[in-house]
Chain A
Amino acid sequence: MSMPTTIPQPVERENYLNKEYGVWSWLLTTDHKRIALLYLVSITFFFFVGGFFALLMRLELLTPAGDLVQADTYNKLFTMHGMIMVFFFLIPSIPAVLGNFLVPLMVGARDLAFPRINLLSWYLYIIGGVMMMHCMLTGGVDTGWTFYAPFSTNFTNTKIVEAGLAIFVAGFSSILTGLNFVVTIHRMRAPGMTWSRLPLFIWAHYATSIIQLLGTPVIAVTIVLVAAERALHLGIFDPKLGGDPVLFQHLFWFYSHPAVYIMILPAMGVVTEIIACFSRKRIFGYSFVAFSSIAIAVFGFLVWAHHMFVAGISIYSALVFSFLSYAVAVPSAIKVFNWTATLYKGSIHYDAPMLYAFGFLGLFTMGGLTGLFLAALGINVHVTDTYFIVAHFHYIMVGGAVMGYLGGMHFWWPKISGRLYPEGWARLAALIVFIGFNLTFFPQFLLGYMGMPRRYYDYSHMPEFQVLNVLSTAGATVLGVGYLLPMVYFLWSMRYGKPASDNPWNAAGLEWKTASPPPTFNFDEEPVVTWEAYNYEELDAPHKREVPVAR
């Protein structure tokens, strides 16, 4: 990243970034683009906190003996890692950053329907985050991110109520984001922007919002029950008092399974946009991709008990849930086939966002296929609670969702910042992330299949597991570098990057028809849509590397 001798200055015009300066103009903003950036900064912080815990765990697992940390600490490490990564990084990641920024732009609106509620959602997130950090610094929680009863309600002496409240508050922030998106997509579309002209990113966010709206309240009320049970020993989840701990698991997974679709659906939306743009083709089977998002949201609510096959549910309900879990794979597979068909005979450009999209395709497919293994009762009983599970969900959540998030950040960075990121570095980072990821998590499939249990800090009875664990830790280091790189060059490009034109990729979509960065109210005049989505046949190939002249 050598510094260019003359720093090109963009022709300054008023946009959402330079309209006002000063802390309050950010902290009290109701502009969805600024709120997106507030979220960007906050979730990045939590990503590194969660990542730090992951790194400590990987270091512990470098040797079979439990030497770096003790069992208690390790329990807290994976719990805080899971809680922070799920509730404070991944769930808000694409929706609250890219979605917040792009939903109004893509539908041709001046803002989200409820700008002040949007700001409120960020504040709730921050309050939840501060509570989570406070809980963490004063002792943390050791139950696992799943805080299963009755351990969480009767036995652990860690700060389960505070962590629960933090998640409760952050949950409301997520509900408010979903609410804003649903109303905006229904009510704020520009003239001519019919449902079938909406970018598939919007359909994906619509489906995500449905899950956020209908799932999150259930985890909220579950937390209320856990807190009450813990304070008063009501017996709702305590078998000694006639309660049912399995009920806790039902309530927990009723939210937390759909929640994995909150994490992956937006990434699918991002990847759809990227693949269409860099294949220069209309997306294959638009309506199939659109409705598969909705189908995932709906069927995603019907499979939760596949996390409970060994929790004592009846064999008949296990069979039904196993079958439904296979069924929910169908819409995901439809998407993968449609992306592949879009690539077929496309004129493919290997820019960094596309590399991330390719990474997503491969890793998501791996995660999804191993998910089918897990939906099969027999295999599930063998590998449940082993590293096979850990590998599976990290392939979806890190390999799929984080790849999608990074791809989207690169794709829309010129729009967000008005600058181009350094393409060479970005491609290198994409490659490093892909290699590091597989090195970290592929060995865990093998470990799990061989029987290494998850949530163990010590495997000295099985020293032969060490080789694969060392590989995994080495991979984590590579992965860490891959994640730090984009942060560095994005920051760098904010100052030194080449100014971006309004549409550096020559992409379809309304967001590219306004300035980069956009003005506060997004469009200088209200857009009227007269064309179909993804009309790439009518657009030229990307000309991003030209330095644009004055606009």
Chain B
Amino acid sequence: MPDSTLVGLHHEEQHHPELLHHFAEPQQQRDAASLGMWVFLATEVMFFGGLFCAYLIYRRWYFGDFGAASKTLNATLGATNTAVLICSSLTVVLAVWAAKTARRTLLLVSLGITLLLGLAFLGIKGVEYKDKFVEHHVPGASFSFDKVPLPGHPGQYANPRHAQIFFSLYFIMTGLHALHMIIGLGLFLWLLIMAWKGRFTPEYNTPVEIGGLYWHFVDIIWIYLFPLLYLIDRHP
């Protein structure tokens, strides 16, 4: 699916139009881009790692309070969002495959659905945030968590301060995750436009591939966040 719009965009040499001047061959360029994304994801692991570390420490210290706070989260919406993201991972895989095998319609559709699923995730997240706001569970001056029973300790109440630490971590972790989702949406919008213009071919589809890597990573973070935040001490 070579694209006529690209002719003339490139310089003297007759190599592939998307090959940048400092690479010897397309393969090298692809390898560099995908290694670059993997390395970047390693830094992301460390970025979230600091938060997970703080979470684990406080969860061990204040297990009961964390359990009580966690129970106020809407696990149904959380589970729905998990499903939404898992589906979007599938559509991302499809998009990569479509780009590699020159299936233009499938590529456009998969990218489009990915975008929609990402938006759905953020919408649901927004509803959850709103609920927390209404319930005064947002840390800060208006925070209140009075007389919430401590799971497993009849007659005792959770310590609001410790619950506030839970909610702080909840908002920071899911907030940073949502920020990554928003960046991902921007990325996929760009991919969609490029795909629309027919930029991706079986020879050149690295952006789809590394965009996909990023998307999967953001999904995986959520796969950890969901049980850690929503499912503390829940019993059927």
Point out residues on A near B: beta carbons under 8 Å: 109-115, 175, 179, 182-184, 186-188, 213-218, 220-222, 224-225, 228, 232-236, 241-244, 247, 251, 254, 521, 526
Contact = CB atoms under 8 A, between A and B. Distances in A.
A434 B52 CA distance: 46
A233 B140 contact: yes
Interface in B81-96: none
Given A111-B22, A225-B54, 20 more contacts: A113-B36, A114-B32, A184-B32, A187-B28, A214-B43, A217-B49, A221-B47, A221-B48, A221-B51, A222-B50, A225-B51, A235-B139, A236-B58, A241-B165, A244-B57, A247-B57, A251-B50, A254-B50, A521-B22, A526-B24
Interface residues on B, range: 35 or more
B164 interface: yes
A228 B50 contact: no
B47 to A, nearest CB: 4
Nearest to A522: B22
Task: Name the residue in B40, B54, B140 with the highest tally of chain A Cβ atoms < 10 Å from its Cβ.
Answer: B54
Contacts of B140: 232-234
Interface string B23-63: 11000100110011001101110111111011001100010
A235 B54 contact: no
Given A232-B139, A235-B161, A188 B43 contact: no
Contacts of B235: none
Interface of B is mostly: helix
B174 interface: no
B172 interface: yes
B172 A235 contact: no
13 contacts: A182-B35, A184-B32, A214-B42, A214-B46, A216-B43, A217-B50, A220-B47, A221-B47, A235-B139, A235-B161, A242-B62, A242-B159, A251-B53
Given A236-B168, A244-B57, A113 B43 contact: no
Given A242-B62, A243-B165, A221 B50 contact: yes
A225 B36 contact: no
B170 to A, nearest CB: 11
Nearest to A244: B57
A184 B46 CA distance: 22
A183 B62 contact: no
A29 to B, nearest CB: 13
Contact of B32 (A110, A183, A215, A526): A183
A241 B51 CA distance: 18
A235 B35 contact: no
B35 A213 contact: no
B43 A213 contact: yes
Nearest to B62: A242
B11 interface: no
